[in-house]
A = this chain, B = another copy of it.
């Protein structure tokens, strides 16, 4: 493999000039640039990126920390990250943490050791290992964001989204509304529950706490939660699920217990994943701009890494209520 020295000899210039031709061509005269380019072509020279990274202490690599890459919503966010990263000249290291803090630690370390320039965190906490050092740790928090954090955040207005969904359900005359939410510690969960409560309060409906149950965003947990709800002494006529997978699980359970969706029970989701539209019945849900989350996060991380001032440190992206056929007016006889 040819080195910058070989090129400089053939071109009859110094290594500095070759380096400049590559990284700041406007500082090099037209004539010299051509000589260098010829030498590069002749030698088939490619800069040794490892040497460059070492010298500049930058890896042009970011890591994305995701609780589970097999989640279809997350994988869309990651797709958005990857596309924008590539445009900006960054490579994306995948950090599937499976919720393990030790894994996060490994990845946070990569930033400390300059193997990566920054982190995009999709989970609702400071990555383990990134908290120790108080100095600027280049990171942005997307989707499920910590409250009152120094990290820049990009998220949905989950309070408003859950409110809108709840209002839709209320407009269908439902009063006994169940919730299948995600992990309690997460901001997403808390915000959406808050939105739900506000909507109920506005409509003067009392909240039945026994109809608020927890899932883990998996289909199975949605199914299990729906089972529990239906076994409740006063089962809900509508179930608000905090993602589409749990809604799909819930629909499956409701049906297999002999009820009809939406005739007997309305079910709604969150995220609008690809499958939502093709469920039976098609799922009423909140659509989120998943790829935009990723893309915007990468853009923001770029600014953080390069110490460009971030204008909007707490960004909110728009959602859209998609009314399909999994929600319907309350049956008269109830």
Contacts and interface: CB of A to CB of B under 8 A. Distances in A.
Q: In the complex this chain forms, how many copies of it are found?
A: 2
A83 interface: yes
Interface string A264-279: 0000000000110111
Nearest to A89: B106
A104 B259 CA distance: 50
Contact of A86 (B72, B76, B106, B223): B106
Interface string A57-91: 10101000000111010011011001100100001
Interface stretch (A108-116, A207-215, A300-308): A108-116
Interface string A243-280: 00100110110010000000000000000001101111
Given A275-B248, A280-B252, A94 B93 contact: yes
A35 B53 CA distance: 31
Contacts of A278: 219, 223, 248-249, 251-252
Contacts of A78: 69, 94, 96
A58 B62 CA distance: 18
B50 A59 contact: yes
A114 B49 contact: yes
Nearest to A280: B280
B69 A96 contact: no
A143 B219 CA distance: 26
A173 to B, nearest CB: 26
Given A50-B114, A53-B54, A274 B79 contact: no
A9 interface: no
A136 interface: no
A92 interface: yes
A82 B97 CA distance: 10
Nearest to A279: B280
Interface string A221-254: 0010000000000000000000001001101100
A109 B98 CA distance: 30
Interface residues of A, number: 51
Contact of A219 (B59, B86, B274): B274
A70 B81 CA distance: 12
B113 A96 contact: no
Contacts of A69: 69, 75, 78-79, 82
Between A72, A76, A115, A275, the greatest number of chain B beta carbons within 10 A of the residue's beta carbon is seen for: A275
A114 B109 CA distance: 21
A113 B79 contact: no
13 contacts: A46-B109, A46-B113, A50-B114, A50-B115, A54-B54, A69-B79, A70-B274, A72-B72, A82-B96, A83-B96, A83-B98, A86-B106, A92-B94
Interface of A: 46-51, 53-54, 57, 59, 61, 68-70, 72, 75-76, 78-79, 82-83, 86, 91-96, 98, 103, 106, 109-110, 112-115, 219, 223, 245, 248-249, 251-252, 255, 274-275, 277-280
